[in-house]
Amino acid sequence: MGKVYVLDTNVLLHDPNAMLRFEDNDVVLPMTIIEELDRFKKQPETTGRNARQVSRMLDRLHNGGHLTSGVTLDNGGSLRVALCDRETLRGLPAELEGDRGDNEILAVALELRHECDCDVVLVSKDTNLRIKADALGLSAEDYETDKVDISDLYTGTSEVFADSEVFNALFKTGRAELTDQGLCPNQAVMLVDQSNPAHTALAMMDSLGQAVRPIIKLPHGGISRVSARNREQKFAFDLLLNDDIPLVTLVGKAGTGKTLLAIAAGLTKVADEHQYSRLLISRPVVPMGKDIGYLPGDVNEKLTPWMQPLYDNFDLIFGTQENQDKSGVWRRGHEELMEMGLLQIEALTYIRGRTLPKQFLIVDEAQNLTPHEVKTILTRAGEGTKIILTGDPDQIDNPYVDAASNGLTYIVERFKGEPLAGHMTFVKGERSALAERATQLL
């Protein structure tokens, strides 16, 4: 026999297609969910869009029958909207008295368990609701369709022992066959000589995952005056400077150089090589700690506090915070690039609906995005555009995602075998000795 899954509102707001992802089982939506969706539908950004999408989907499904009686889904399961039984609601413990939405969802799940012989499972992303359900003897689960195992997240690197013939082929012809190693396309490899473990070489798998090539040799002065300080940064520069890899994900703790390397590579590709028409940098507007509320000024002035970490990276690259132009006006380096049309910095709020051809797009703090939001960003890419996603899954300020369900880790796992994508996980902090020690101890 199949199962009956009772969904919470937050599951549908997280994934509008959640009701279709339970295969041939029965899905039940308590009526209170419809009321809550109606309240959410006017909210801006993702929450409101998802609420409206769910409402439209339910409207289409009711053409196949009455939702209270149940309609058959394409996957063989069924969907119905259930009313809350008042007797069951009044029978809840005294601590759960009242017509709150959570209590009505619990009452529906309890009534279904009494009515049918099959397993009834409450699915919610609300930890407290799952605890309440467990206290009432109900089975409760988190919605984990888009979750990844963060402890086993793809790192993008591997060490491989090889014989001297591989080393000779790599440096003489620039290519060495390396099959049956279980490596992914565009995966970074450190080759170790079997006869002399002290002899190593840094290489990168090709897009087919069949052979390795030497990594790109960086100039003596670095890329945009930024030099790689460790092995992972050298691998990252190779991915960032390779125009045949349109998607690069960079993951690492604070101070490992993710954003700095991405901006340095973008400046080189846009301002020096003219491979892309513009460097576009964006980040989600999610506050750390208590929100300070609305900010005065035009859109650029409002965004300045959110984009200040990006400006700091430009100051580091240019070597100064301010420059004096011929007119005697003091300005920061990124302002000149913006006036030339080579640089644009904006919030992700304005990216929906756009098409971005031939641009070097950096999305910073991508760990604060949902998988659906990252999908929206990737589908904006036009011909010749390269997208860089950077972030740290351990520093999430968005209350609706966690280390296992955020858009950054989701993309890393989904694209790890794709020829169009490359990934690098940074390990060593390079910001300062204090910053590195703080990440270790705190």
Q: State the burial class of residue 236 (Cβ atoms within 10 Å of its Cβ: 0-12, 13-18, 19+).
A: buried
Q: Are residues 16 and 135 in the same domain?
A: yes
**Comparison of pLDDT for 68 and 386, the residue scoring more:** 386
Per-residue pLDDT, 329: 46
Per-residue pLDDT, 130: 93
Cross-sheet strand order for the sheet of 176-177 = 157-162, 188-193, 200-205, 211-214, 176-177
Residue 367 structural domain: 221-441
Mean of pLDDT over the chain: 86
| 421 in any annotated domain | yes
120 Cβ neighbours under 8 A, 6+ residues apart? 3, 4, 6, 109, 112, 113, 138, 139
Percent over 90 (pLDDT), the chain: 50
| 364 in any annotated domain | yes
Output the domain CATH number for residue 98.
3.40.50.1010
Q: Are residues 240 and 359 in the same domain?
A: yes
Nearest to 107 by CA among 89, 87, 133, 131: 89
Q: Check: CB of residue 353 under 8 Å from CB of residue 366.
A: no
Q: Are residues 287 and 419 in the same domain?
A: yes
Decide which of 116, 141, 166 is a domain's last residue. 141
Cross-sheet strand order for the sheet of 139-141 = 71-72, 78-82, 26-30, 4-7, 120-123, 139-141
CA distances to 5, 34, 228, 378 from 304, rounded to whole Å, are: 45, 39, 29, 25
DSSP string, 296-324: -SSHHHHHHHHHHHHHHHHHHHHTSS-EE
Q: How many domains does the chain have?
A: 2
Return phi, psi of residue 320, to 5°.
-160, 155
| 184 in any annotated domain | no
Decide which of 82, 114, 141 is a domain's last residue. 141
| 297 in any annotated domain | yes
Q: Are residues 280 and 392 in the same domain?
A: yes
The rounded distance, in Å, linking the Cα atoms of 427 and 62 is 52
| 195 in any annotated domain | no
| 192 in any annotated domain | no
pLDDT band, very low/low/confident/very high, at 288 (cuts 50, 70, 90) = very low
Decide which of 71, 106, 141 is a domain's last residue. 141
Q: Are residues 417 and 275 in the same domain?
A: yes
| 395 in any annotated domain | yes
Q: Are residues 407 and 262 in the same domain?
A: yes
Position 314 pLDDT exceeds 50: yes
Per-residue pLDDT, 289: 45
Output the domain CATH number for residue 316.
3.40.50.300
Q: Are residues 130 and 274 in the same domain?
A: no
Q: Are residues 132 and 228 in the same domain?
A: no
Per-residue pLDDT, 297: 64
| 359 in any annotated domain | yes
The rounded distance, in Å, linking the Cα atoms of 28 and 6 is 5
